[in-house]
Amino acid sequence: MAAMLEIKNLSKRFGPVMAVDDVSFDVDRGEVLGFLGPNGAGKSTTMKMVTGFLSPNNGSMRVCGHDVLQDALAAKRCIGYLPEGAPAYPDMTPHAYLNFIADIRGLTGSRRSERLDYVIARIGLDGVMQQSIETLSKGYKRRVGLAQALLHDPDVLILDEPTDGLDPNQKHEVRGLISDMAAEKAIVISTHILEEVEAVCTRAIIIANGRIVADGTPQELEARSAYHNSVTLRLAAGAANDVRPALEAMAGIDRVETAGDGAYIVVPSGAEPIVDQVGRTAREAGWPIAELHVRPGRLDDVFREITTDKEERA
């Protein structure tokens, strides 16, 4: 069975700048894909092509089996799109704007009422429905944009920075909404906020200079971190001064870093766990252990390593 979103060899050039360079990926129902990259990497340009707002120089895009270039209306019926900045008509109220979107989407009768009631309640717009959009806070404008993307209950959601401008409580609510919908939809979240990926995404793609440089689950990408399986050892006050040389002398150790306050980060040279070895060395030496734990790889470390390397080569 074909994926709900199929992107093949997508490229877009703006004059001498290759903004998106031969990008290919699929997204299935039940997947929440984090589309990551630094500013200017090509994230928003890719999303605009997928949703039909920009035409590619090369490549193809299919949404629920519909070719975005050859059968644009059918493809767009299947998409809910929250663009960067969540543009809307500033002189409209959310009430007027969402009813306008309902008209465009062809929602009528009880289905229209059900969907309007659902998005207004679920996204928390009840208190601002009669206020002009231009007077709303950035967070509420973002909520209105998210509401219009969800109104017709699309199979594919393309969300460009969905929590931009939201406070921590609002971010938590939106992430909960995304998680609740995930099983029935294919969702792409374009973001540079790594916390977003760790919170809701089942898979992540990193793009730099218009090209995909990594693709995997958040856990698989975290495992690529130079600190994956490293160990933090914190000793109580009064520990011996020869701790670091003893740690460095252990087999399978790449390096030992000091982290302050009596703490050391022991980085393995390979993929094998070293926490038992570090703990045994500490106990045999009689060091007063205050803390000992494995450090998982961090997505921000991997992101920085990958994107910085690609930017420097470009």
Using 50, 70 and 90 to split pLDDT, how confident is the model at 203? very high
Percent of the chain with pLDDT over 70: 96
pLDDT digits (tens, 9 = 90+) for 80-89: 999 887 789 9
169-174 mean pLDDT: 86
**Tokens for 61?**
């895009």
CA distance 23 to 12: 10
What is the distance in angstroms between the CA of the first residue and the CA of the last residue of the chain? 38
* pLDDT above 90 for 145: yes
- Asked if the model's pLDDT at residue 311 lies above 70, the reply is no
Out of 70-74, 147-151, 304-308, which region has the weakest mean confidence (pLDDT)?
Answer: 304-308
Q: What confidence score (pLDDT) does residue 1 get?
A: 64
pLDDT tens digits, one per residue of 46-82: 999 999 999 999 999 999 999 999 999 999 999 999 9
Rounded to 10°, the helix 109-123/138-150 angle is 150
pLDDT of residue 242: 72
The enclosing H or E element of 219 equals helix 218-222
pLDDT at 234 over 50: yes
CA angle 242, 248, 252 (to 5 degrees): 150
Nearest by Cα to 273 from 300, 253, 247: 253
Q: At what angle do helices 94-104 and 138-150 cross, to 10 degrees?
A: 20
What is the average per-residue pLDDT within 132-146?
A: 92
Report whether pLDDT(176) > 60. yes
At 48, which helix (H) or strand (E)? helix 43-50
DSSP letter for each residue of 89-146 = -TTS-HHHHHHHHHHHTT--HHHHHHHHHHHHHHHT-GGGTTS-GGGS-HHHHHHHHH
Q: Are 94 and 86 a contacting pair, CB within 8 Å?
A: no
Query: What pLDDT is recorded for position 308?
Result: 79
3-state secondary structure at position 191 = strand
pLDDT the model gives residue 239:
63
Say yes or no to pLDDT of 225 above 80.
yes
Domains identified in the chain and CATH numbers: 5-222 (3.40.50.300), 230-295 (3.30.70.100)
DSSP state of 195: H
Q: What is the pTM assigned to this prediction?
A: 0.83
Phi, psi (rounded to 5 degrees) for 162: -65, -25
Q: What is the mean pLDDT of residues 125-150?
A: 94
Which amino acid, 187?
Answer: I
**pLDDT at 100 (0 to 100):** 97
Q: Which residues, listed in sequence order, are joined to residue 33 by a DSSP beta bridge?
A: 188, 203
Q: In this predicted structure, what is the pLDDT of residue 209? A: 92
Query: In 3D, which of 36, 305, 83, 306 has the Cα closest to residue 194?
Result: 36
Residue 213 near residue 307 (C-beta atoms within 8 A)? yes
As given in the structure block, the two tokens for residue 16 are 């001498």
Mean pLDDT for the chain overall:
90
Q: What is residue 49's predicted lDDT score, i.e. its pLDDT?
A: 95
pLDDT (0 to 100) of residue 312: 46
Give yes or no for residue 272 having a pLDDT over 70.
yes
Q: Which residue has the tokens 């209105």?
A: 144
237 pLDDT band (50/70/90 cuts)?
confident
Distance in angstroms (rounded) separating the CA atoms of residues 281 and 176: 44
Which position has the token pair 């997947």?
Answer: 31
Percent pLDDT > 90 in the chain is 60
Q: Residue 191 region, left (φ>0) first, then alpha (ψ -120 to 50), else beta?
A: beta
Query: What does the pLDDT look like over 16-53, one tens digit per residue?
Result: 999 999 999 999 999 999 999 888 899 989 999 999 99
- Beta 156-160 vs 186-191: how paired, if at all? parallel
Q: What is the mean pLDDT of residues 137-166?
A: 91
Say yes or no to pLDDT of 313 above 50. Answer: no
Q: Hey, CA dihedral for 138, 139, 140, 142, is it positive or negative?
A: positive
User: Left (φ > 0), alpha (ψ -120 to 50) or beta: where does 195 sit?
Assistant: alpha
CA dihedral 120, 124, 128, 133 (to 10 degrees): -80
Judged against a pLDDT cut of 60, whether residue 314 lies above it is answered with no
Give dist(CA 35, CA 214) in Å, integer. 10
